């Protein structure tokens, strides 16, 4: 029988985290559970930065980006002492279950707490979409849409000036944002962390297009691409003679009101997490497969390596030429 649960958001924020918080709190209150919000992720856990979550705490947050519980990347918590201190604080405060909303590092933290005997459930939330066990993570859909909005604007001005625009999107290890955005905006080139950049191949494509009078060219580059924007710009300028501009979208992609997909997905996950806790589950990472919510042990979920979706890459290659 659980009576009191806690929840936190951790790592980089992601649009839809608030929708997940709201769903956890409302589902828990409906089941007469006490709910504690831990502010600033695992940092806040160690500082015991707790707030009691009531019905009113989550009103008017569904549509907001960011996280009302605030977030952090905690180095302290990663140490064995920090981890043990976190588990002890949860025990001392009689927390029967913890919901962690975050990305890879955050779910690893939840797994370690679980190994120390703390009942934990993890919800995937990261704009990077780099958790392989789930087909989506909270915030990814919104981030691509934000990137597409910006890329659309860049297309307009690039077309008018006949320029090449090289645009950096987020993703240090995972090229999902770049690949999805590149397909969605009809880019001519995409450079991903998972692939060697074929810059001469791109120059050939741009030169052929320029010969045909298509001066507008968009190249989407993931943060984790081994070539810097300046290096790419230098080669493109030299090999194509085109005027090249570079743009870094940066943290713009992390904010903004969540899309309908992220609101619904996050709401479903939040309610699902509480249901799992009520059923006595622990150490589960929740996600989605073929449209259905699923949960795996942290061990199984986090052991799966994220690979580039080759079929999407092939689709990009087909459509970008
Ligand atoms: O949350 C994921 C992410 O946005 C990555 O895409 C990016 O590389 C990183 O976080 C940036 O982290 P920070 O906001 O700490 O600079």
pLDDT in tens, 36-85: 999 999 999 999 999 999 999 999 999 999 999 999 999 999 999 999 99
pLDDT at 270 over 90: yes
**Six-digit token string for 223:** 């943060």
In this prediction the pTM is 0.97
Ligand 1 contact, 104 CB (< 6 A): no
CB-CB contact of 265 with 288 (8 Å): yes
> What's the CA-to-centroid distance between 12 and ligand 1, angstroms?
6
Is 39 close to ligand 1, i.e. is its CB under 6 Å away? no
Please write the tens of the pLDDT for every residue from 82-134.
Answer: 999 999 999 999 999 999 999 999 999 999 999 999 999 999 999 999 999 99
Residue 232: φ, ψ to 5°: -60, -45
CB 150 within 8 A of CB 113: no
Neighbours of 260 (CB within 10 A): 9
Q: For residue 83, give the 3-state DSSP assignment.
A: helix
Cβ(270) – ligand 1 distance below 6 Å: no
User: Taking residues 211-216, what's their average pLDDT?
Assistant: 95
Number of the ligand 1 atom closest to the C-alpha atom of 73? 15
From CA 107, how far away is CA 224, in angstroms rounded? 22
Segment 298-310 mean pLDDT: 97
Is there a contact between 216 and 155 (Cβ–Cβ < 8 Å)? Answer: yes
Q: Please tell me the predicted confidence (pLDDT) of residue 321.
A: 84
What backbone torsions phi and psi does residue 209 show, to the nearest 5 degrees? Answer: -65, -40
- In the set 13, 47, 49, 128, the catalytic residue is 128
- Ligand 1 pocket mutation pick from 11, 106, 170 by most atoms within 8 angstroms of CB: 170
Rounded to the nearest whole angstrom, what is the distance from the C-alpha of residue 129 to the centroid of ligand 1? Answer: 12
Q: Classify residue 142 as exposed, middle or buried by CB count within 10 Å of its CB (0-12, 13-18, 19+).
A: buried
Phi/psi region, residue 220 (left: phi>0; alpha: psi -120 to 50; beta: rest), is beta
- Up-side HSE of residue 41: CA atoms within 13 Å toward CB? 29
First to last CA, the chain: 59
In this prediction, residues 295-320 reach a mean pLDDT of 97
Mean pLDDT of the chain: 98
Degrees to nearest 5, angle at CA 37 with 25 and 140: 70
Which tens digits make up the pLDDT trace of 8-21?
Answer: 999 999 999 999 99
Active site residue 128: yes
Best residue for ligand 1 mutational test, from 254, 255, 256 (most atoms within 8 Å of Cβ): 254
79 CA from centroid of ligand 1 (Å): 21
What's the token pair of residue 283? 């150490």
What does the alpha-carbon distance between residue 242 and residue 237 come to, in Å, rounded to a whole number? 6
């Amino acid at each position: 029988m659980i009576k009191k649960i806690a929840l936190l958001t951790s790592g980089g924020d992601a649009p839809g985290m608030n929708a997940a918080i709201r769903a956890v709190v409302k589902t828990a209150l409906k089941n007469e559970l006490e709910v504690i919000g831990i502010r600033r992720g695992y940092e806040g856990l160690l500082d015991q930065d707790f707030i009691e979550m009531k019905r009113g705490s989550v009103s008017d947050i569904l549509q907001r980006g960011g996280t009302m519980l605030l977030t952090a990347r905690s180095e302290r918590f990663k140490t064995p002492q920090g981890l043990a201190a976190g588990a002890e604080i949860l025990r001392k405060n009689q927390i029967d279950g913890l919901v962690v909303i975050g990305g890879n590092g955050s779910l690893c933290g939840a797994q370690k707490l679980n190994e120390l005997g703390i009942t934990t459930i993890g919800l995937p939330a990261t704009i990077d979409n780099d958790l392989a066990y789930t087909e989506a993570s909270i915030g990814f859909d919104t981030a691509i849409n934000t990137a597409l909005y910006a890329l659309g604007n860049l297309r307009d001005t690039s077309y008018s000036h006949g320029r090449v625009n090289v645009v950096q999107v987020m993703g240090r290890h995972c090229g999902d944002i770049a690949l999805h955005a590149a397909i969605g905006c009809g880019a001519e080139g995409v450079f991903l962390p998972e692939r060697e950049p074929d810059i001469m191949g791109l120059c050939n494509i741009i030169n052929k297009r320029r010969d045909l009078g298509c001066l507008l060219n968009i190249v989407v580059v993931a943060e984790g691409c081994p070539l810097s924007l300046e290096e790419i710009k230098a080669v493109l300028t030299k090999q194509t003679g085109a005027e090249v501009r570079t743009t870094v979208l940066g943290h713009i992609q992390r904010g903004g009101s969540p899309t309908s997909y992220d609101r619904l997905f996050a709401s479903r996950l939040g309610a699902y997490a509480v249901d799992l806790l009520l059923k006595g589950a622990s150490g589960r990472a929740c996600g989605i497969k073929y449209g259905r919510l699923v949960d795996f042990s942290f061990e199984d979920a986090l052991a799966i390596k994220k690979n580039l979706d080759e079929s999407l890459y092939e689709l990009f290659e087909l459509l970008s030429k």
